[in-house]
Chains A and B, each alone.
Chain A
Amino acid sequence: MSKYAPKVTVLKKELEEKPGFLKGNYSDKEWWDIPVEFREGNWCFPGKPEVLDDLGFPNPRKWAATDQDWKLPDGWQKIISDGLQSRLKKYRSLKLFLDTCVRCGACADKCHFFLGTGDPKNMPVLRAELLRSVYRNDFPLAEKILKGFSGSRKLTPEVIKEWHMYFHQCTECRRCSVFCPFGIDTAEITMMARELLNLIGVNNNWLLAPVSNCNRTGNHLGIEPHTFVQNIESLVEDIEDHTGVKVEPTFNRKGAEILFVTPSGDVFGDPGVYTMMGYLLLFHHIGLDYTISTYASEGGNFGMFASNEMMKKLNAKMYHEAERLRVKWILGGECGHMWRVVHQYMNTMNGPADFLEKPVSPITGTRFDNAAATKMVHIAEFTADLIHHKKLKLDPKRNDHLRTTFHDSCNVARGMGMFEEPRYVLNNVCNTFHEMPENTIREQTFCCGSGSGLNAEEYMDIRMRGGFPRANAVRHVMQKHQVDSLVTICAIDRASLPTLMNYWNPGVKVYGLHELVGNALVMQGEKKRTEDLRENPMAGFEEGDDDED
C-alpha cells in the first residue's frame, strides 16, 4: 500500500466514528477562517521547471506546497485579477456561474471529495465560493459600508494556497451540476481557476508532464514512434499466443478508411493493454480497413485540465493526421475526458473537418448522423451497431468467469450522454451483469476520484477518500451479487480503479469493455480458447483433454 495513504482500517474508522459528513466542529467557525494544511498525501508535486519551460508556462522554479513561501511571481495579484477579467469576457458560463448561485446547498453532499473527506470546502458551493469571494471584491465600496455582508475577501497568498488545494480536489466530474437548479457546473469554475493558477506557476507535475509529453511525442506517456509500434506488436504476439489468430494492425498508413485513436494508456498500461487487444481482435474479426497513428497516438487530453489553449493544441493532431492520411473518418477508443473533448469541444476548436466524410460503418452501412460534423465515432457506438446487426460472432459464456458491474465514466455520462451503448455491448458479451445502486450510476455516477490529472502516487490519501463513494457502490454489488469485475470505458478508470479496488474492495478487478468483447469474440481460425486475454482460465472451458502443447 502507498505510503501516501492511511491504512484502510484507519480511514474506515474515521468515517464510522464521526457521524454526518462534515468532519469536525464548525459551530463557531466561518469557512474563510479555516486555514489550509498541506500534509503528506494531499498535494501533488508541482510542475518540474523543465516541463514548464518546455510548455512555455510561466514561473518555472523548484517549490513544494508545504513551503511557506511559494515564490509567486512579481505582480501575481494583478496577473490573477487580469486573468479573471479576461476569462469573464470570454466565457458566459463563468460569469453566470459566479453570479447565479443562491447557496441552496443541493450540491453539498453530491461531491465524492466531500463525501470522502468531510471537508466543508469540498462542498461544490464552497469550492466555487473560493473564487466567488475574490470576484465579489470588485465592489469594494459596498463591502466597506456593509462589512462582511457580501462574503467577499481580498486575494492573499493564503487564498492561492486554498485554491491550489481545493481546485485539485475537484475532478471536473460535473456530478454537482446535475443537481444544481441553475445547472452551475463546478467543472467550469475549476477549469478557470486552474488556468489562473497556471498563470502564476501554481501547478501539478502529474498533470503537466503528460501535456508536455503529448506535445513532443504525440502521446501522454511520451512513447516515441518505434516504441509505440513495438508495444502494439508485442500485443499482437500475445493475441496470437492466446487465440492462434494473427491480427495485423497498420501504422501511419495512407488511404486507410478509418483512423483509430485511443488513449496511450491502452497501449502501455496494465490493464489497458487488454482492452487494446480487444480492439485489435474486433477489427480483425470484421476485416476493418483501419490504421493507427504514432503521431496522433493519444486520445486523451490532459491539456483540458491545464488550459483551453493546451486542450486545443493537443487535440489538433487528430484532424491534422486524419487529413494527411486521407482517411474517411475517425474511430475513437474508450476514454472519459477524451470524449468530453471530442464530443463537446473538438469540432468547435479544431474543425471544420471538411476533408473527412460522414461516418458510415463499412460493415453494417449504418450512417452515424450524430457524428455527422465531427466525423468521429465512439467505439461503443460502433460495436453496439455491429452487434445489433448481428455482425459479430460472440460467445458470452467465455466471460462466465466474470461477474460484472458497469462504472459510467463521468465525462462520457455527463458530458456526452452515452449510457445505453456500453450496456448493450456488455449484455451481449457476458452473462452476469448487475447494476450498482441507482444513485451511483448513469448521470449520477461517481468519479473514480483520480480524474482530471490527479492520478499521482503522492496524492493517494485524497484519491482513496475521493474514490470512496464509487468503491462503496461497488462493495454493495460485490456483497449482494458477488460481483468481482468492474467494467469501464475510460483509460483513467483503468489506471486508477485497480488501486481504489485494492484499497477498499480487494478481489475486484477492473476491465475495459472491449477486453470482454475480445474474450467473447469467436475468431475465424482460432485455436481452442481456455483462457481469457489475461491468461485467466475461463469457466466451463477447462476440459481435461485440451490440445494445447
Chain B
Amino acid sequence: MKKVIMPFLMVLLLAIIPFVGVAWARLDYLFGVILPYTAMVVLIGGFLYRVVDWLRRPVPFRIPTTCGQEKSLDWIKQDKLESPSRAWHAAARVLSEVLFFRSLFRNTKAELHEGAHLAYGSTKWLWLGGLAFHWSMLLIVIRHARFFFIMVPGFVDFLTDADALFDVTLPAFYITDALVLAAITFLVLRRLKDAKLRMISLPTDYFPLFLLTAIVVAGILMRYVAKVNVMPVKDQMLRLLSFSFDAPGEIGVLFYVHLFLVCVLAIYFPFSKLMHAGAIFLSPTRNLCNNSREKRHVNPWNAPIKFKSYTEYENDYRDKMKKAGLPVEKQ
C-alpha cells in the first residue's frame, strides 16, 4: 500500500520539520512570520488564479444535467431545483449542493443478488460523513476567529459556546473536534475497506486527509494536553493580521507544528483537488439554466462550418427527385 504509506510518511516528516526548526534551530521567525505570510499569499493568490483561470474559459453550451421535470406545458409541474429555468433556480441548486451536498444525498449502493438480480439500496454514509467533515471544519475555522480579533464577534462566541455544549473536560470539550476526527477516520477507512475505493484512490487523496488529521491532533494536544498558553498565540496572530513583521514571543513548539501544517495545507490547496471548494460553484451541469430552447445562448467561439446545402443536395439527386415526384428548385 505504497499510495497510503507514502502520504502518511510525508505528513509525519512535515510535522517534524517545525519541531526541529523551532526547538533546535530557533527559527521562530521563519515559522511564525515568514511562512504564514507566504502561505496566505499562495493560498489567496493561487485560489484566485485558479478560479479566474476557470472563468476565463468559455462555456460554449448550456449543459445542465436535468434531474427533474423541465419547464414545458403550464399544467405540468416543473422541478425548479433540479431543472432550473431561471437564474435563481440555478443559484438555489448550486447552494443546495454547496451547503447540503444534495447530489450525494441521492447516493445508492448497487448489489447483485442471487439469480443475477440487481438491487439498489439507499446509502447515506458518504453524504453524512462528508457533511460532518466539512461542517465541522467550517465551525472550527470560525471558532479560530477568537485568535484573530481583539473584539470577538458575537456569533463566534455563540457558535463556540454551542460547540462546547458538553462541558465535560477542562478546558471545555468541543463537539466539532470529535466530529471532525470521526469523519476523517471514516473517510480514510472507507478508502481502505472498499475494493473499488482502494482502486480509485491516489496518494493525493490520502495526503490531505492525513494532513488535516495531523493539524487537528496538534490542535487538540495544544488545548487539552500540552495546554499551550494562548495569549502569546493570540498576540502573534493579531500581529500577523495587522501585517506586522515583529518577531513572535515565546510560544510552545506544538503551536508551531500546528501552524506549519496549516501553512502546508494553505500552500497545497490551490494546486490540488482541494480546489473543488471553488469549482463546485462553477460546475456547468449544475449552475446553468435548462432553458436553451426558450432563450438563445451564445457560444463565443461558435466556429463556422460548411455543411451540405440543399442546392448541392438537389444537384446530386435532381433526376431521382423528379422521378419520385418531389418538387425541385431548378428543373
Contact = CB atoms under 8 A, between A and B. Distances in A.
Contacts of A156: none
A490 B314 CA distance: 30
Contacts of B110: 21, 109-110, 115, 469
Nearest to B275: A99
Contact of A414 (B50, B60, B65, B197): B65
Contact of A179 (B107, B112, B317, B320): B107
A414 B67 contact: yes
Interface in B51-65: 53-55, 57-63, 65
Contact of A183 (B6, B7, B285): B285
B241 interface: no
Nearest to B195: A22
B294 A370 contact: yes
B116 A309 contact: no
A215 interface: yes
A376 B72 CA distance: 12
Nearest to A296: B310
Contact of A381 (B55, B72, B323): B72
Contacts of B185: none
Contacts of A195: none
Interface in A396-424: 413-421, 424
B230 interface: no
B101 A349 contact: no
Interface in B269-308: 273, 275-276, 279-280, 282-286, 290-299, 301-303, 305-308
B126 interface: yes
A211 to B, nearest CB: 12
B97 A102 contact: no
A229 interface: yes
B299 A92 contact: no
B38 interface: no
Interface string B310-323: 10011011001101
B179 to A, nearest CB: 19
A62 interface: no
B24 interface: no
Contact of B293 (A253, A324, A347, A437): A347
Central interface residue in B73, B77, B282, B309, by most chain A CB within 10 Å: B73
B196 interface: yes
Given A313-B306, A347-B296, A416-B66, A104 B202 contact: no
Main secondary structure of the interface of A (DSSP, over half): helix
Contacts of B120: 437, 439-440
Given A103-B202, A347-B293, A421 B197 contact: no
Contact of A344 (B286, B292, B302): B292
Contact of A324 (B203, B299, B310): B310
A309 B305 contact: yes
A416 B306 contact: no
A401 B118 CA distance: 28
Contacts of B199: 22, 26, 30-31, 120, 123, 126
A391 interface: no
Residue of A89, A177, A469 most packed against chain B (CB within 10 A): A177
A148 B291 CA distance: 44
B130 interface: yes
Interface stretch (A218-226, A513-521, A523-531, A532-540): A218-226
A38 interface: no
Given A347-B292, A421-B72, A225 B321 contact: yes
Given A92-B282, A347-B293, A443 B57 contact: no
B105 to A, nearest CB: 9
Contact of A104 (B69, B130, B302): B130
Interface centre among B79, B126, B279, B306 (most CB of A within 10 A): B279
Interface in B28-53: 50, 53
Given A366-B73, A374-B292, A230 B324 contact: yes
A101 to B, nearest CB: 7
A88 B57 contact: yes
Interface residues of A, number: 118
A80 B244 CA distance: 50
A104 B125 CA distance: 12
Contacts of A12: 116
Interface stretch (A43-51, A315-323, A452-460): A315-323
B301 A109 contact: no
Please indicate which of the listed interface residues A215, A254, A369 has the most CB atoms of chain B within 10 Å of its own CB: A369
B204 A181 contact: no
B330 interface: no
A142 to B, nearest CB: 8
A15 B326 contact: no
Given A16-B115, A149-B204, A229-B324, A101 B65 contact: no
A19 B70 contact: no
A334 interface: no
Contact of A295 (B65, B195, B202, B313): B313
Contacts of B54: 92, 95-96, 99
A313 B66 contact: no
A495 B37 CA distance: 63
A472 B68 CA distance: 24
B163 interface: no
Contact of A100 (B201, B202, B275, B305): B275
The 8 A-B residue pairs with the shortest CB-CB distance, nearest first, are A417-B66, A417-B70, A226-B324, A183-B285, A439-B120, A151-B202, A417-B83, A92-B57
8 contacts: A93-B63, A110-B110, A182-B276, A215-B308, A384-B73, A416-B70, A417-B79, A418-B69
Interface of A: 12, 15-16, 19-22, 26-27, 30-31, 88-93, 95-96, 99-106, 108-110, 115, 120, 123, 125-126, 129, 146, 148-151, 174, 177-185, 188, 215-216, 218, 224-226, 229-230, 251-254, 294-295, 309, 312-314, 316-317, 320-321, 324, 342-345, 347-349, 351-352, 366, 368-374, 376, 381, 384-385, 388, 413-421, 424, 437, 439-440, 443-444, 468-469, 472-473, 475-476
